[in-house]
Structure 1
Protein backbone atom coordinates (compact mmCIF):
# COMPACT_ATOMS: atom_id res chain seq x y z
CA UNK A 1 0.00 0.00 0.00
CA UNK A 2 1.49 3.39 -0.99
CA UNK A 3 2.07 5.88 1.75
CA UNK A 4 0.43 9.27 1.79
CA UNK A 5 3.84 10.85 1.26
CA UNK A 6 4.42 8.86 -1.93
CA UNK A 7 1.21 10.21 -3.37
CA UNK A 8 2.22 13.66 -2.26
CA UNK A 9 -0.62 14.26 0.18
CA UNK A 10 1.62 15.76 2.86
CA UNK A 11 3.18 18.13 0.31
CA UNK A 12 -0.20 18.80 -1.26
CA UNK A 13 -1.61 19.70 2.14
CA UNK A 14 1.12 22.33 2.43
CA UNK A 15 0.33 23.65 -1.04
CA UNK A 16 -3.37 23.73 -0.21
CA UNK A 17 -2.94 25.69 3.00
CA UNK A 18 -0.46 28.12 1.45
CA UNK A 19 -2.55 28.90 -1.60
CA UNK A 20 -5.79 29.06 0.34
CA UNK A 21 -4.35 31.63 2.73
CA UNK A 22 -2.83 33.66 -0.11
CA UNK A 23 -6.00 33.63 -2.20
CA UNK A 24 -8.74 33.96 0.41
CA UNK A 25 -10.70 37.14 0.05
CA UNK A 26 -8.94 38.48 -3.04
CA UNK A 27 -11.67 37.99 -5.65
CA UNK A 28 -14.82 36.06 -4.89
CA UNK A 29 -15.69 35.90 -8.60
CA UNK A 30 -13.50 32.83 -8.92
CA UNK A 31 -14.52 31.20 -5.66
CA UNK A 32 -16.11 28.28 -7.56
CA UNK A 33 -12.57 27.17 -8.45
CA UNK A 34 -11.55 27.13 -4.78
CA UNK A 35 -14.71 25.30 -3.70
CA UNK A 36 -14.34 22.69 -6.44
CA UNK A 37 -10.65 22.26 -5.60
CA UNK A 38 -11.57 21.62 -1.97
CA UNK A 39 -14.13 19.01 -3.05
CA UNK A 40 -11.54 17.23 -5.19
CA UNK A 41 -9.08 17.32 -2.28
CA UNK A 42 -11.58 15.84 0.18
CA UNK A 43 -12.55 13.21 -2.37
CA UNK A 44 -8.88 12.30 -2.94
CA UNK A 45 -8.34 11.75 0.77
CA UNK A 46 -11.44 9.54 0.96
CA UNK A 47 -10.52 7.53 -2.15
CA UNK A 48 -7.07 6.95 -0.71
CA UNK A 49 -8.57 5.39 2.42
CA UNK A 50 -10.60 3.12 0.13
CA UNK A 51 -7.40 2.04 -1.67
CA UNK A 52 -8.62 3.61 -4.92
CA UNK A 53 -5.18 5.01 -5.61
CA UNK A 54 -5.65 5.83 -9.29
CA UNK A 55 -8.79 7.84 -8.56
CA UNK A 56 -7.15 9.47 -5.54
CA UNK A 57 -4.27 10.59 -7.77
CA UNK A 58 -6.70 11.97 -10.34
CA UNK A 59 -8.56 13.93 -7.68
CA UNK A 60 -5.44 15.32 -6.00
CA UNK A 61 -4.13 16.58 -9.34
CA UNK A 62 -7.48 18.22 -10.07
CA UNK A 63 -7.46 19.87 -6.65
CA UNK A 64 -3.98 21.28 -7.19
CA UNK A 65 -4.79 22.40 -10.72
CA UNK A 66 -7.95 24.25 -9.73
CA UNK A 67 -6.35 25.85 -6.69
CA UNK A 68 -3.46 27.15 -8.80
CA UNK A 69 -5.96 28.50 -11.33
CA UNK A 70 -7.88 30.14 -8.49
CA UNK A 71 -4.71 31.73 -7.17
CA UNK A 72 -3.78 33.07 -10.62
CA UNK A 73 -7.31 34.32 -11.30
CA UNK A 74 -7.47 36.20 -8.01
CA UNK A 75 -4.07 37.77 -8.64
CA UNK A 76 -4.26 38.67 -12.34
CA UNK A 77 -7.92 38.21 -13.27
CA UNK A 78 -7.43 35.15 -15.47
CA UNK A 79 -5.63 31.82 -15.69
CA UNK A 80 -4.04 29.85 -18.52
CA UNK A 81 -6.22 27.25 -20.21
CA UNK A 82 -3.91 24.36 -19.39
CA UNK A 83 -3.94 21.23 -17.27
CA UNK A 84 -0.21 21.35 -16.55
CA UNK A 85 0.70 21.84 -12.89
CA UNK A 86 4.18 22.75 -14.03
CA UNK A 87 2.95 25.52 -16.31
CA UNK A 88 0.50 26.81 -13.72
CA UNK A 89 3.30 26.88 -11.16
CA UNK A 90 5.59 28.74 -13.56
CA UNK A 91 2.82 31.27 -14.20
CA UNK A 92 2.73 32.02 -10.48
CA UNK A 93 6.51 32.55 -10.33
CA UNK A 94 6.39 36.35 -10.30
CA UNK A 95 3.30 36.53 -8.10
CA UNK A 96 4.44 34.60 -5.06
CA UNK A 97 8.05 33.79 -4.24
CA UNK A 98 7.08 31.26 -1.56
CA UNK A 99 4.91 29.34 -4.00
CA UNK A 100 7.67 29.30 -6.62
CA UNK A 101 10.21 28.10 -4.05
CA UNK A 102 7.79 25.38 -2.98
CA UNK A 103 7.43 24.28 -6.60
CA UNK A 104 11.20 24.18 -7.12
CA UNK A 105 11.78 22.10 -3.99
CA UNK A 106 8.92 19.72 -4.83
CA UNK A 107 9.08 19.65 -8.64
CA UNK A 108 9.66 15.89 -8.75
CA UNK A 109 6.64 15.21 -6.53
CA UNK A 110 4.49 17.54 -8.63
CA UNK A 111 5.76 15.75 -11.76
CA UNK A 112 4.80 12.41 -10.20
CA UNK A 113 1.32 13.74 -9.43
CA UNK A 114 0.95 14.87 -13.06
CA UNK A 115 2.10 11.45 -14.29
CA UNK A 116 -0.29 9.67 -11.94
CA UNK A 117 -3.12 11.90 -13.18
CA UNK A 118 -2.42 10.98 -16.81
CA UNK A 119 -2.08 7.29 -15.98
CA UNK A 120 -5.32 7.30 -13.99
CA UNK A 121 -7.21 8.72 -16.97
CA UNK A 122 -5.76 6.66 -19.78
CA UNK A 123 -4.36 3.42 -18.40
CA UNK A 124 -5.98 0.66 -16.36
CA UNK A 125 -4.57 0.27 -12.88
Structure 2
Protein backbone atom coordinates (compact mmCIF):
# COMPACT_ATOMS: atom_id res chain seq x y z
CA UNK A 1 0.00 0.00 0.00
CA UNK A 2 1.42 3.41 -0.94
CA UNK A 3 2.47 5.53 2.03
CA UNK A 4 -0.19 8.13 1.21
CA UNK A 5 -3.14 5.70 1.14
CA UNK A 6 -3.94 6.77 4.72
CA UNK A 7 -5.08 10.12 3.29
CA UNK A 8 -7.86 8.46 1.29
CA UNK A 9 -8.89 6.21 4.17
CA UNK A 10 -9.06 9.12 6.60
CA UNK A 11 -10.99 11.19 4.05
CA UNK A 12 -13.51 8.37 3.69
CA UNK A 13 -13.93 8.28 7.48
CA UNK A 14 -14.44 12.05 7.69
CA UNK A 15 -17.04 11.81 4.90
CA UNK A 16 -18.97 9.05 6.69
CA UNK A 17 -18.79 11.02 9.93
CA UNK A 18 -20.06 14.16 8.18
CA UNK A 19 -23.14 12.31 6.92
CA UNK A 20 -23.88 10.90 10.38
CA UNK A 21 -23.35 14.26 12.09
CA UNK A 22 -25.62 15.96 9.57
CA UNK A 23 -28.42 13.50 10.33
CA UNK A 24 -27.87 14.06 14.06
CA UNK A 25 -28.23 17.82 13.63
CA UNK A 26 -24.57 18.54 14.43
CA UNK A 27 -24.15 20.93 11.52
CA UNK A 28 -20.92 22.65 12.59
CA UNK A 29 -19.13 19.36 13.11
CA UNK A 30 -20.57 17.94 9.89
CA UNK A 31 -19.17 20.93 7.99
CA UNK A 32 -15.79 20.51 9.69
CA UNK A 33 -15.68 16.83 8.74
CA UNK A 34 -16.53 17.66 5.12
CA UNK A 35 -13.65 20.15 5.05
CA UNK A 36 -11.27 17.52 6.38
CA UNK A 37 -12.50 14.98 3.82
CA UNK A 38 -12.05 17.40 0.92
CA UNK A 39 -8.65 18.55 2.12
CA UNK A 40 -7.36 14.99 2.50
CA UNK A 41 -8.70 13.86 -0.88
CA UNK A 42 -7.00 16.80 -2.59
CA UNK A 43 -3.77 15.89 -0.83
CA UNK A 44 -4.28 12.25 -1.81
CA UNK A 45 -4.58 13.19 -5.48
CA UNK A 46 -1.45 15.34 -5.28
CA UNK A 47 0.50 12.62 -3.46
CA UNK A 48 -0.61 9.93 -5.91
CA UNK A 49 0.48 12.04 -8.88
CA UNK A 50 3.51 13.88 -7.49
CA UNK A 51 4.62 11.77 -4.54
CA UNK A 52 4.05 14.67 -2.14
CA UNK A 53 1.58 17.39 -1.23
CA UNK A 54 1.86 20.91 0.19
CA UNK A 55 1.59 21.32 3.96
CA UNK A 56 -1.39 23.64 3.92
CA UNK A 57 -4.97 23.62 5.13
CA UNK A 58 -6.15 25.95 2.36
CA UNK A 59 -8.56 24.26 -0.03
CA UNK A 60 -8.08 27.13 -2.47
CA UNK A 61 -4.34 26.55 -2.56
CA UNK A 62 -4.78 22.80 -2.98
CA UNK A 63 -7.17 23.33 -5.89
CA UNK A 64 -4.64 25.70 -7.49
CA UNK A 65 -1.94 23.03 -7.11
CA UNK A 66 -4.19 20.55 -8.94
CA UNK A 67 -5.21 22.93 -11.73
CA UNK A 68 -2.82 21.45 -14.30
CA UNK A 69 -3.04 17.86 -13.04
CA UNK A 70 -6.79 17.64 -13.39
CA UNK A 71 -8.48 20.46 -15.32
CA UNK A 72 -11.93 18.96 -14.62
CA UNK A 73 -11.34 19.37 -10.89
CA UNK A 74 -10.34 22.99 -11.44
CA UNK A 75 -13.57 23.48 -13.40
CA UNK A 76 -15.46 22.00 -10.46
CA UNK A 77 -13.75 24.50 -8.17
CA UNK A 78 -14.56 27.45 -10.41
CA UNK A 79 -18.21 26.37 -10.70
CA UNK A 80 -18.50 25.83 -6.93
CA UNK A 81 -16.13 28.46 -5.51
CA UNK A 82 -18.75 29.82 -3.10
CA UNK A 83 -19.58 26.42 -1.61
CA UNK A 84 -15.89 25.46 -1.46
CA UNK A 85 -15.29 28.75 0.37
CA UNK A 86 -17.95 27.80 2.93
CA UNK A 87 -16.38 24.36 3.32
CA UNK A 88 -12.96 25.94 3.80
CA UNK A 89 -14.29 28.37 6.41
CA UNK A 90 -15.59 25.40 8.40
CA UNK A 91 -12.00 24.39 9.20
CA UNK A 92 -11.36 27.41 11.40
CA UNK A 93 -14.81 28.76 12.12
CA UNK A 94 -16.34 25.60 13.55
CA UNK A 95 -13.37 25.11 15.87
CA UNK A 96 -12.63 28.60 17.14
CA UNK A 97 -15.59 30.90 16.55
CA UNK A 98 -19.26 30.92 17.46
CA UNK A 99 -20.40 29.98 13.96
CA UNK A 100 -23.75 28.37 13.32
CA UNK A 101 -23.96 26.45 10.06
CA UNK A 102 -27.52 25.71 9.01
CA UNK A 103 -28.79 22.37 7.75
CA UNK A 104 -29.38 23.70 4.24
CA UNK A 105 -25.79 24.99 4.05
CA UNK A 106 -24.31 21.67 5.15
CA UNK A 107 -26.53 19.73 2.76
CA UNK A 108 -25.26 21.97 -0.04
CA UNK A 109 -21.67 21.27 1.11
CA UNK A 110 -22.38 17.53 1.17
CA UNK A 111 -23.86 17.61 -2.33
CA UNK A 112 -20.85 19.55 -3.61
CA UNK A 113 -18.48 17.11 -1.90
CA UNK A 114 -20.18 14.15 -3.57
CA UNK A 115 -19.85 15.85 -6.97
CA UNK A 116 -16.21 16.64 -6.11
CA UNK A 117 -15.62 12.93 -5.38
CA UNK A 118 -16.99 11.90 -8.76
CA UNK A 119 -14.70 14.34 -10.57
CA UNK A 120 -11.71 13.38 -8.43
CA UNK A 121 -12.26 9.67 -9.09
CA UNK A 122 -12.17 10.46 -12.80
CA UNK A 123 -8.83 12.19 -12.29
CA UNK A 124 -7.51 9.16 -10.46
CA UNK A 125 -8.83 6.81 -13.15
CA UNK A 126 -11.21 5.10 -10.71
CA UNK A 127 -14.84 4.33 -11.53
Aligned pair partner of 1:114 in 88, 99, 106: 88
Aligned pair partner of 2:51 in 72, 77, 81: 77
| Partner of residue 27, structure 2 | 53
Q: Partners in 2 of 1:73 and 1:117 — Cα distance?
A: 21
Q: Partners in 2 of 1:87 and 1:114 — Cα distance?
A: 11
Tell me, which stretches of 5 or more residues in structure 2 are unaligned?
Answer: 101-127
Q: Partners in 1 of 2:49 and 2:66 — Cα distance?
A: 9
Runs ≥4 in structure 1, deviation > 4 angstroms? none
Structural mapping, 1:1-125, within 5 Å? 28-124=2-98, 125=100
TM-score, normalising length: structure 1: 0.76
Post-superposition CA distance 1:23-80 (Å, at most 9, x none): xxxx732110000000000000000000000100110000000000000000011000
Q: C-alpha root-mean-square deviation of aligned residues, in Å?
A: 1.2
TM-score, normalising length: structure 2: 0.75
Tell me, which stretches of 5 or more residues in structure 1 are unaligned?
Answer: 1-26
